[in-house]
Structure formats: structure tokens, C-alpha cells
Structure 1
Amino acid sequence: MKMPNLFQKSTLLAAATVSLAFTQVACNKTEKTDTTTSTTTTTTTTKDQAYDDYKNYVTTLESDVERGWDTTITDADQRMTQWKNDYETRRSAVAQYEGDFDENRRREYDSLQTRYSTAWAAREQQYNTWRQTHQGAGSVSKVDMSVYNESKIPSYTATNIRTAYEDFVKHVEANKANFSNDDWKIVDKYWSQLDDRKNAIQSQLSDKDKWEIAKAKTKYTTMKAGNKTGNTASNVGSDVKEVGKDVSNSKVGEATKDAGKAVGNTAKKAGQKVGEVFKDDKKDN
């Protein structure tokens, strides 16, 4: 009778145990890896997600603007700031993928940026109208000047500086009637620094961007010239005074001044002669 090989059985049992343990560890490791991968996938914003978020934001803003201003709002200033920040967040998210856009998406993206600028200008007009109607004229500033934050200018690149110009012009156009002389100084300073930034990256701009920026500059220059002395009722008196100074310091002003002196001297001499005539007649009599 053949005796069972206990040593062989023990060896096989140990091997099976080790194999089972290894398989369990491998499964656990795989499950952990899969979980990590799944979590990463759900928290990462893809190119399509970023683009869809941007597109949906613009579409939603347009619809909201069409509905008009919500007169029940009590935190209008904060909401305007939040809406602007929300847009900048979405635009920054999609901007990193601009180089990967095909021609169709590029055209649609350009259109979305233009649509946003138009909608935001309308929203600012609604906001300013509401503030003038529901808040005292002297209680708050007429225009939100926080958009002219010079600290963000250095961050503009060849991919978004054209939009910065267009947004700037839209905002000026929407608020020019309410700018004070001090506001115009802030606007002009921001414009100057924006121009400096554009010049620094000029070689990176496409011909189309250069053309659109040139159009924006022409529009701003026209608006600035038309509103150089301000156009609100409260500034009319001071504006006329400033114009008067300009005239008085010009050659025309000097000529007018000199002509006035000449007329005055002539009248004075004529008066003296008439006086002398009457004096002589009196003596003769």
C-alpha cells in the first residue's frame, strides 16, 4: 500500500494559499486604481465641457437680458460683479483650448464673444437705468468703474486682447452719457495701458485681430472726441468754461481780445474829442 505524500500535499496547499492571497491583493489594487481613475475623470474639465459651459453662459445671459432687469434685486452691485467674474472664469477655461478649435468652432467661438459683448452692454444699460431710478442720484456712483482694473491688463494675450478691446468699447458706449470728467480720466488711463500691452504682443496678433482692434480704436476715439468735455447736465457749466479757456488761449481768442481793446481805445479817443469840441464851444459862448 502506497503511503500519501504529506510533504507534497502541504507544499501544494501553501502554494494555493499564496496564489489566492496574491490574487486578492491584485484585485484590491485594480479596484483602487479604477476608483482613482474614475474620480479624476469626473473632476477634470474637458475641451468640450469647457466650450459648452461657455456657450451656455452666453446663451443664458442673452435670455436673461431679453427678460429685462429684475427690479426686486437688492444686491445689484454684487450681482454685476459676480456675473462678470463667472464669465471670466468660463472664458479662461475655454481659452486654453482655442488652438485646438477647428474652423467651424472657431467661427462660432468668435460669434459667441461678440454676442456676449452685446448682451453685457445691454445688461449694463439696464443696471445703470435701474440705479438712477431706484437710488438717489448722489448716493452711488453713476457708473461701475471696477471694470477698468489695470492689474489684469498684463494677463492679456494674443488670443484675448482683441476681446478686451471690444469689451472696453462696448462698456464705454453703454456708459459714456454718465461718465464724469474724472471717470474719463480713468477710462483714458486704462485705454493707454491696454494699448501698451497690445503693442508689446503686436507680432503675435493675426491680421483679423489687428483689423478688429483698429476698428475698436477708431470707435473709441470718435466717442472720446464727442464726449471730451462731458455730456451730463451737471457738467455743462464747467464744460463751457473749459471751452472758453481754450478759445481765450488760442490765436482767435487773442485776436478777439486785441480787437476789443482797439475798439475800446477808439471809443475813448472819440469821446475825448467830442468833449474837447463841447469845451471849445462853451468858451466861444
Structure 2
Amino acid sequence: MLLGGTTFTSCNQAQKQEVSADSDQAYNDFKTFVSDTEAKVDAVANEAEADYDRETAQLKSDFDAKVASVDKYADQYDEARRQEIELLRTRYTTAYDKREMTWKNRPGATAAMTGTASAGAMTMGKYYKPTSPASRVTAANARQTYEAFVNDIKANEDKYDINDWRNINAEWRALDEAYDQVKKDIPARDLAEIQKEKLKYAAFKSYDKAEARAAQGADATERGAENVAAETQDERSAVGRAASNTASDVKDAGKKVGGAVKGAFKEAKSEVKNTDND
């Protein structure tokens, strides 16, 4: 009996050591991946478009795989390690954004970008530069993508003119469309946080766009003023749809985690109210 007990204890200890080694490996692999991504940011300026597109797709796939690996051992990590992993996520998002901007600003790209903007009838505003968040959103990084987008827009909202807001809104719609494609694979906790970001964005965007229109109204013709009024009404409807869609997503997520998500929705509504009062 003693021998059997010793063997059993020994097996358990070996299994724990194996899990610990695997969790450390997952973390180290993710850390190396992020560092490699950061190191290669500037190199894309000299790449062919086909190579850039292929590497971008590979980056998304590898990121999802690395995140899935560390998430597998989430319960094994202490708080310090979990914070390190969150920092790695942020570093990756920053590196990805920088990589994308390096590509867009590469030598010889100006003409191509101008043609694309003309084809899409995009009029650049005074401050906002499109970043295409929809092009990089995945189930693993959706929460970070929404949070980064909303925080950036909120931080600079006083600088935007009406054309900035039109371009921001176009990118937001594209992000929502991309989100809908991966929503079913997003963890319930992240879904709840994304809904909070949607409500915050809908609230301050509608208010600030109205202010931007008012500032430009003095130069509007009578016909232009009518268009501004119609567009403002469209925005009010859009906010209503955002709230409705948010409630629907929270309800779906609630099937997974119940009260936790409902609580997050209440917190989101409270944050929106505070945003309106700012």
C-alpha cells in the first residue's frame, strides 16, 4: 500500500511539473513572438505587397495560436504573470499598428493611397488618420482592438472636424462588421467588455459629431444646413441601433455567463451616463 501510495504521489508530482513546464513554454513562446513582431516592424517598408499580405495573415494566425496557448494555462499563472501576458497583448497591438502605418507610409505608397481614397470618396479631415482596425480584428484581440479604438477617439475627440468623424464612423462600421464574423468565438468576458465600449462610443460620438456640425454650420448654405440636419437625425437613429445591437449581444453572452455579463451591461450604461456628463 505504501509503495502504491508513493507511486501515486510521484505521478501527481510529475504531472504537475509537466503542466508547469508547458505553461512556462507557452508564456515564453508568446513573449518571443511579440518581440519578433516588434523587431520586424520597419522591414515591411521594403516588402512586396504579396509578401506583406501573406505575412499579415500569418501574424494573425500565429497571434491567435499563441494567445490560445497561454489562455489554456490561465489558471496556472500567478497575478504577476497574468499582468505580463496582458502587457504582451498590448505590445503586440502597438507593434501591429506601427507595422501597418510603416506599410502605408512606405516610399512610393502615396500615389496608391491617394487613388484608393478617391475611389472610396473619402475626404480626409484635419486630424484623424484611418488605421483600419477591422483589418486586424480576431476573436482573440477583439476586446483590445475595441478598447484601443474607443480610447484613442475619446482622447482626441476635441480635435476632430466633421470629415474626421465621417471617417471614424466608417472605420467603426467596418470594425463592427468584422466583429460580427468572429463574435461567436469571442470569450464571454470579452464580449461583455466590448459591449461597454460600444455604448461609450455611441454616446460620445453622437454628441461630439453634433458639436462639429454646429461649428461648421455658419458656413453652410441653406441646402447644406438641411443635409446637416438630416445627417444628425441619421446619427440619432444609429445610436439607437447601437444600443439595440448591444443589448442583443449582451443577451447572447448572458447565456454563457449569466449575471456576470448582465452586471457588465449595467456598468456600461453607467459609464455612458458619466460620459454624457463630461
* Structure having the higher Rg: 1
TM value normalised by structure 2:
0.46
TM value normalised by structure 1:
0.45
